[in-house]
Amino acid sequence: MFPQSTVLDPLFWMLLGAIQVLLFAGVNQWAKEHQLGMNWWKWALAGGWWFSFVLTIAGAFTLLGENEGNAGWYFLGFAGTLLVIAGAGLLKVLLVLRDKSQQLA
């Protein structure tokens, strides 16, 4: 975020890392409340989705930053839409699997 700053840049990345811990702790609470029964592969999928989503936004804005405005917006619209759909699909899978585990229990 602060590429030429010797102080702010490392601080920023540390803070961003710390925030991710909070984020996953929060997601864990939501998952528990909705009884999603998260296991390793569910976490991997959710984490992978989040990582791709953040990278897509960062990528689009990198293009904007280097004066590739057209490409940046199209990339955000295209990859972003696909990811939103994939995210909705993932959520659906998680919810469906919850129903099953509840019925079994």
Partner 1 sequence: MKKKQRKQSKQRFEKLASVGSILLLILAWYLGGLRIADSQNGLLNDLLADGNSLQAISAGLYQGHSKSDTQASEWIGIGSGIGYGGPMEVALTVSHQGEIKRVAVLSSKDTSSYLEKVVQGKLLDKLLGQNIKTSIYVDAISGATLSSNALLQATNAAADPVRKQLFGFTLTEPASVILNFRWLDIVALLMFALAVWVSKTRHPKKSAFNWALLLTSMGLFGFYSASLFSSSTMGIFASGAWISGLGNYTPLILLLLSAGYIIAYNKNIYCQSLCPFGAAQECLAKIGNAKATTFKHDFFIWFPRVILLAALCFGGYFRNPASFSYEPFGIMFGMVGSLYLFVLTVLVVITSLLIRRPWCRSLCPINAMTDFLKFNKNWAKQISKQRQKSRSERAPEGTIIATQASATNRSEAL
Partner 2 sequence: MVDKKHSEEAAASLSRRNFLKMGGIAAATATVGAAAGAGFVAGRDPDANVGWGRTEAGKDMYFNREPFRVDKAPCLNIAGPIERPEWGDFLFNRVMSMGGSMHKDGWKPNKDWQQIPDPRVREYYSRYPERWPEMLLSFREKVKHDANLEKHRDRFALAWAYSGAFGTGLHSNFPPVPTAHPDEDDFKWVKREPMEFQSPAHASKLVKQMANKFGMSLVGVTKLDPSFVFKNMMRGMPDWGEEIPKHWKNVIIFGVPMNWDPMYAAIGYSTSFDAYYRVKQASGLMAAWLGELGYAARPQFPGADYEAMMVPLAIQAGLGEATRNGILMTPEVGPNIRLAAVFTNLDLEADKPVDLHMGHFCESCKICADSCPSGSISKADKPDTVVRGYKKYGFNQDSCWRFWQQGPSETGLGCRVCIAVCPYTRKNNWIHALVKESDPRDPTGLTRNALLAMQHNFFYYPDAENYHAEWSGGNFASYHQPPEWLRSENYLKVEKTWEYDGNWEGI
Size of the site for partner 1 (CB under 8 A): 12
Instruction: Determine how many CB atoms are found less than 10 A away from the CB of residue 36.
Output: 19
Q: Is the separation of the CB atoms in 58 and 79 below 8 Å?
A: no
Minimum distance, C-beta of residue 77 to partner 1, in the bound complex (Å) = 5
Q: Distance between CA 46 and CA 55 in Å, rounded?
A: 14
Cβ atoms of residues 75 and 60 within 8 Å: yes
Which residue among 89, 99, 100, 101 contacts partner 1 (CB under 8 A)? Answer: 89
Q: How far is the CB of 104 from partner 2 (least distance, A)?
A: 26
Q: Give the containing element (helix H, strand E) for 89.
A: helix 69-104
Does position 81 bind partner 1 by CB under 8 A? yes
Residue in 12, 13, 61, 74 binding partner 1, rule: CB under 8 A: 74
Identity of the residue, 37 or 59, whose beta carbon is nearer to partner 2 in the bound complex: 59
CB of 66 to partner 1, least distance (A): 19
64 close to 72: Cβ distance less than 8 angstroms: yes
Q: Where on the chain is the footprint of partner 1 (CB under 8 A)?
A: 70, 73-74, 77, 80-81, 84-85, 88-89, 92, 95
